[in-house]
Amino acid sequence: MMNEIAPAVVSAELLLAADHLNRYPGELVTLHLRFRVPEQPGVVLQLAMPRVMQAEMYDLPPGVPHTLPSVAEAGTDLLVLIPLADYFAVGEMYEIQIGARLKTFYANQHLLVDARLVLPDEALTLAEASLRLTVFGKAKYLQFLPEIYESDDFTSRFLMLFESFLKPVNQQIEQVDGYFDSDLTPPEFIPWLASWVGMPVDDSIPLDRMRTLVRHATTLFQRRGTEQALHTYLEIYTTGQVEIVERRAANFVLGANTVVGNEIALGTKNQPNTILVRLRVPASELERTRYSAETYQRKISDLVRGVIPAHVLYEVECAFE
């Protein structure tokens, strides 16, 4: 008899995130849940949050009725329960958004939100994720006003409006150092950051390679014209294996009877000031760029020409594996 192939075991996966981790009383926070449905029957997605949070909005996958979620009380928490049996396929990944209003009193506090994939009948948790929301009871801008306004509730709530409007701008200012980091800066800032270091932007390569080139730009320019700089540049650009052969005059000898003059060549079979660049590039590069092998090699030749010294002659050989 042939051995039967055992079905793959689908494990539970669960991620939880929020659009804002710092809020004020009365504001809406959107919770993002991403999960993979496990193979166990009867699994329920459970979101536990303090009673001072009130679920107001559900963004469910297509085909899932908005009446499916239910709310229950458990101690000091509210539980949002979403059964996965009827409308979610085993092994598939889904995303759900839940909007919750903060009905808190005006005091600084931390709220714990917990998400789980559970089997209620067996009291078993298959996956779990949590996050902490910070609620500020007073406006931060009060510190810039005279002390008499510290106890004025109206002024505090009035300033909270401006803080909410200006929060995206303040976050950009607080995280401005990230815009100067090639690994953290947004994709649209890569050309701007590359222009600071004189690195040409090539839209034909993936974003992660462009980030790496910008990160190494200073080192590459310090060693510009050397074999090491060319090797590093091509290795990052192509993710392939690079071999550079430098041709030098191997038999340049001057003796007592040596005569140097017009039409006298130094050495034989020498090709000084020339290099051979061999590349072994993944074949997937042609599929990604939609270039022919000749076009890709011609593009690499143009890159080499811009990196090596002007008096050096070169050859490029590309092999796709």
Would you kindly state where each structural domain of the chain is located, as residue ranges? 13-137, 223-250+270-320
CB atoms within 10 A of CB 179: 13
Q: Look at residue 3 and tell me whether its pLDDT is greater than 70.
A: no
Structure tokens at 69: 């979620």
Residue 49 backbone dihedrals phi, psi, to 5 degrees: -145, 155
CATH of the domain spanning 223-250+270-320, picked from 3.30.300, 2.30.30, 3.40.50, 3.30.70: 3.30.300
Can you give the pLDDT at residue 117? 92
pLDDT single digits (tens) 49-79: 999 999 999 999 999 998 999 999 888 899 9
Taking a C-beta distance cutoff of 8 angstroms, is the pair 206, 174 a contact? no
CB atoms within 10 A of CB 74: 10
Q: How far apart are CA 165 and CA 301, in angstroms?
A: 51
Which burial class, exposed, middle or buried, applies to 234 when counting CB atoms under 10 A from its CB (0-12, 13-18, 19+)? buried
Q: How far apart are CA 250 and CA 67, in angstroms?
A: 83
- Most confident option among 72-76, 139-143, 268-272: 72-76
pLDDT single digits (tens) 14-23: 999 998 887 8
Q: How far apart are CA 276 and CA 279, in angstroms?
A: 10
Can you give the pLDDT at residue 70? 92
Percent pLDDT > 90 in the chain is 23
Work out the average pLDDT over 246-270: 61
> What is the strand order of the sheet 53-59 is part of?
13-18, 28-36, 93-102, 53-59
Q: Residue 257 CA to chain centroid, in angstroms?
A: 68
Can you give the pLDDT at residue 2? 38
Domains 13-137 and 223-250+270-320 share a fold: no
Q: Which residue has the higher pLDDT, 252 or 94?
A: 94
Can you give the pLDDT at residue 45? 93
Q: Look at residue 288 and tell me whether its pLDDT is greater than 80.
A: yes
String of DSSP letters for 2-39: PPPPPPPP---EEEEEES-SEE-TT-EEEEEEEEE--S
Can you give the pLDDT at residue 107? 76
Domain 13-137 has CATH 2.60.40.740: yes
Can you give the pLDDT at residue 109? 85
